[in-house]
Each structure stands twice: as C-alpha cells, then as structure tokens.
Structure 1
C-alpha cells in the first residue's frame, strides 16, 4: 500500500512502501497524490482539491491530535477515512509548555540577545525574572496534556487551576474560564480550535489576567487574538508570552510578535521529539494494517 508521509521526515521499515514529501514542496506533493492510498498528515492543510487529485486515497492519518487542517467534509464525501492519535504527543507538548513558561518568566530571549552582543554580564536589572514556584497557573483544558503539565507544575511549587468544557465543580482546582483568568499569573492553552474557541482569549479576557501575567500557547494559534495579545504586551498589562503556534502558519516574518524580546517563539514543534515520532509511527502503522485487513481503525474521526 502506497503511503505518503507529508513532512520533512524519514521512515524506513522493510516491507513498507512509504514516500516522503516536504510540506513546502507543492509540485512534488501534487505528483505523488495520484498514487497515494494513505497520507500521513502533519500540518499543511488538506483540501477538497487535494482529495480530487488522489483517487486512490483511502485514509488520512493525522500524526497528532488536531484535525482542523483537514477538510473533513470533503474527505467524507469521497469515502476517505480520517483518524488521529490523541495523547501520543502529550509528554512532549506538556514539557514544551513548561519550557515556554520558564523562558518567558526568565526573559530568555532578551538575555540571549544581550549575551550574544557581549552585554550579558553584568545583567540589566530591568531584566530580572521570576519563578514559577508560588505563582498560580491556569490551564485551559483538562485533557492528558494539561494533566501531565499540572503534575510538573505542582512539583515545582505552583498552584494549578484548570478549566474545561465540562464543569467539574467537585474538583477544587476547577474554575469557570473567567474566574480562572482572574486568578492566574500564567495561563497555558491546551484546547482544540473550534468555532467556539476561536479568539477565546480576546481583548476582554486577556484584560482579566493579573497584571504582569504570562500567556503560553502550544495548542492552536487562533485561540488567542494576536492583535489583542500585542496590545496587552504593549500596555504592560502582560509581562510576556511563549508561543509555539500562530494564527497564520508558517508564521509571517512581519508578525509583530516576532520582533519582541518579551515573547518566546517556536514554529509549531512542541510535539517534535524522537519519542513522539516513535509513538506516532506505532499508531500509524497499526492503522494501515487495520485498513488492509478491514478491521476498525484506531481513533477514527470520520
């Protein structure tokens, strides 16, 4: 079965017919689509036009959780199954969220620039950072990533609160969204992008955060209104942000967030570890075996 790994990655297993294609190489991708029976998909959006060029396609396997980059209706209309793999990147994403919190609090971007310019010591007193211990961290989401991160933060000495779509009033750590924001020194996003969560953290909700708060996002960029985030940083209400995701991806070089020393950025790679790839391929290979045998797919979305 011909499998198209749509990413700058490698996959070598005896007996597996896998071709790879960079997400930036549109010409090669178009040339490979007609023979593809399975696409192992990462981030570059898959559209109805892509499905039209792939008459043999039977399965789109998301390497990750979020399927907002796949035209699910177009896939269903053409009889193409879609599956994801929830939780397989949870450890990596939770660790990255913690990394971004620490980097924003300790002003790593500014210190890095100062050090490379020969001004790193003695340090600028204005760049004195803070610690996670003793702060309140609010997590948007109550899934596996948020649960893992909650344990890490508690071990460091933070007070951890969370909110979720399903109210959990019996859990003393659960709060309604606005109450959580009012109580938080750091807020970290761990929810999918839907019509309801688009710009969930808008100008009004960012204003609810405590003065000097830090915002971290390793989920989906459009959960945060980027213009409102820039304004909150400009005003000094927020002290910093750590962002692995953006409203437009790949992020445009002119995005004002990229020019700020109070913002730590990464290119949607919170999940990207050797260990995550191993877990991804384990599920992806199993679903190809199930597709060939006619068995039910793991984590089928459509």
Structure 2
C-alpha cells in the first residue's frame, strides 16, 4: 500500500484518480497547520500540496516520501534542493491552467482599461455618467510587453495580438528567433521595454532573480498611463512601489490576481484604490481548470510511485539520472 496525504480535498476529477487505485491509502486534511502537516506526512509515500510548505523541515519529517505534487504549476512553497537531495520528485501540473490564467489576465486588463468595476459600482449606486468622465482606453494599436514566455505567457501574447496590439516578449530563456518566428518582438532589456509599453503583463515564476522585478525603478521606467497585470506571483511586484505609481497617476491602473501578502490584509492600500482590480489568486480556478489541475496532480503522484514519472511534469528531472 502507498500512503498519500492531501493538504485538502481535490475536486472530484482528482479524487476519482485515487479512488481507482485500491493500493492507495488516502489521507485528506483540511488546511493543516505546520505541526499537523508534519505529523500526517511522517509515513507518507506521496503528498499533494495546496498552500502547505514542503521546506527542509517538512522533508526531514517525512523519511519515506518519494513525491511532492503541487496543484497547479507554481512551486515556490516547495524547497526543491531539499527534495532533490533526498531523491524526492517535485511534480507540477504543466498544461493544466494556462488557458484559464491567460483568459483571466485578459479579463483583468479589460476591466482596468474600461474601468469596469468602479463604473459598475457607480451605476449600481444610483449614478449614471461619472462626473469626471469615463476615461477608458482602447487596446488596439497600443504596445504590450509580456514578461515570461511559458505556456501562459505564450497564450497571453497571442490573445493580445488578436486585440491588434503590438506585442513584445521578454524572457531570457527563449531564443529571440523563436519569439520573432511566433510573430512578436523580442526584447532583452526590461527598463527599455517598459518605457515603450502601454500594457505590461507578468507571467514569470518567482525566483531570487524575479523577486521585486517590478520595483520603484521599473515603475519609473514605465510609460506614463500604463497598465500592469500580474497573474504570476505577488512578490514579483514591490507593493510599495506599485501603490506609489498608482497614487501618483503614473499608472492608469493595475489588474492583480496575486498580492505580495496573501490573503489581503485589511489595511492593504491597494484595496482602497479605485484604479485597481483584484481577484483572490483565482485565475486558474475555473471549473474546467480545477478539474485539469486535480487530475494531472493526482496522476503525477501515482506515476512516480509506479516508477514511470513523466519528466515533462518534473521540476527536478535530474533525479531520474541517479542509479
């Protein structure tokens, strides 16, 4: 028997994957604290994490562990080197949420560009035409910068091009020839690209190199009246610098699915700014997206335990080369 611990219950599409395996002893928790999480995984063969941290302490608490599967494609809650040292596979659900997140990024962009939320509130509050005018903008003909050209960024770039925008892409891990062949401009210097962009959409992973990528200097470099969209990770953006850029009017607005501190704290100044649209880290959480993530995340665990891990789903495929 394999013991598998889930940080919380999966959608039925994922639970069905485990239900079909009589050799799996499934333990389902409900947002456990650190002590409860460590206690549950001490004899686990596999875990499926939501917000639970798989840091070095958690890895040490689970001597039998062979696989850590993340719901979705982000893995900043997993200390990958600690897992790699132990030969523990770190798995992500590649291809499960790119469509959902890309659509959500466009929703946030349109909501800011057309001031959908504050105008909706104005009308529902008894008003009609806002006293200061609508102050909306078209997307067609404007320049967009997509930062990060993975599955999500690639989709977003295509969607923006469909809106007849001039799309530039910045990603040091992709050849400029590939980006140009896909029909976009390839850029290499962030601040130079920011100065030309009316819209900046972030799709890069969180890493030491991207932490506070959008800081005070980056916002100063941005074209006045620009729009920022972040569906990546909150700490990619310095919240203090973003608030300053929004309050000063340097930015038209921001659409955010992620914040530097989540959930949003009551005193967060972003919550009171009318030119900000915020969703609760929910871009991937459509019905279809959650089903895809649940199925792939569950199957990733079984594949590793069965000795047939899919390298394309692994964060640390180098462990497969070990004897």
Q: TM-score if structure 2 supplies the norm length?
A: 0.84
Q: Is the 8 A contact 1:10 1:20 kept in 2?
A: no
Superposed displacement of residue 24, structure 1: 6.0
Quick check: 1:136–1:160 contact (8 Å CA) kept in 2? yes
CA contact (8 A) 2:148 2:169 kept: yes
1:122 maps to which of 129, 149, 152: 129
Shift of 1:58: 1.8
Residue in 2 aligned with 1:62?
70
Query: For the residues of structure 1 that align with 2:36 and 2:158, how far apart are their CA atoms?
Result: 44
1:15 aligns with 2:5: no
Q: 1:165 deviation in Å? A: 0.8
Alpha-carbon separation, structure 2, partners of 1:195 and 1:81: 22
SS of the counterpart of 1:207?
helix
Aligned CA distance change for structure 1 residues 277 and 169 (closer, same or farther; 3 Å): closer
CA contact (8 A) 2:11 2:291 kept: no
1:139–1:146 CA contact under 8 A, matched in 2: yes
Tell me if structure 1 keeps the 8 A contact 2:10–2:294: no
Q: Which of these residues, 251, 263, 268, is aligned with residue 281 of structure 2?
A: 268
1:84: how far off?
1.5
Q: Does 1:133 align with 2:140?
A: yes
Partner deviation per Cα, 1:63-82 (whole Å, 9 max, x = no partner): 22222111123323444321
* Contact 2:67/2:305 (8 A) holds in 1: no
CA RMSD of aligned residues (A): 2.3
The answer for the alignment partner of 1:42 in structure 2 is 50
- Structure 2 unaligned spans of 5+: 317-323
Contact 1:8-1:23 at 8 Å conserved across structures: no
The question of 1:149 aligning with 2:159 is answered: no
When residues 18 and 118 of structure 1 are mapped into structure 2, their CA distance, relative to the original with a 3 A threshold, is farther
The residue matched to 1:242 in structure 2 has which SS? strand
Once residues 41 and 309 of structure 2 are traced to their aligned partners in structure 1, the CA distance between those partners, rounded to angstroms, is 24
Higher relative CO (Cα under 8 Å, sequence separation at least 6) belongs to 2
Quick one: distance in 2 between partners of 1:24 and 1:296? 27
Q: TM-score, normalised by structure 1?
A: 0.90
Q: How many residues are paired up? A: 301
What are the ranges of 5 or more consecutive residues in structure 1 without an aligned counterpart?
none
Instruction: Look up the match of 1:205.
Output: 218
Q: Quick check: 281-290 or 186-195, which moved more? A: 281-290
Alpha-carbon shift at residue 103 of structure 1 (Å): 0.8
Aligned counterparts of 2:26 and 2:253: Cα–Cα separation in 1: 42
Residue 7 of structure 2 corresponds to which residue in structure 1? 6
C-alpha change, 1:179 and 1:168, in structure 2 (3 Å) is farther
**Residue-by-residue CA offset, 1:135-160 (whole Å, 9 max, x unaligned):** 21110012221111122111122221
CA distances 1:256-280 after superposition (whole Å, capped 9, x unpaired): 1112111111111111122222322
Deviations 1:209-261 (A, max 9, x none): 21111100000111111111110111110010011111222232221111211
- Between the aligned partners of 2:262 and 2:5, the Cα distance in structure 1 is 22
* Preserved CA contact (<8 Å) 2:149 2:174: no
Shift in CA distance, 187/72, structure 1 to aligned 2, threshold 3 Å: same
> Distance between the aligned counterparts of 2:193 and 2:225, measured in 1?
16
Farther off after superposition, 105-114 or 92-101: 105-114
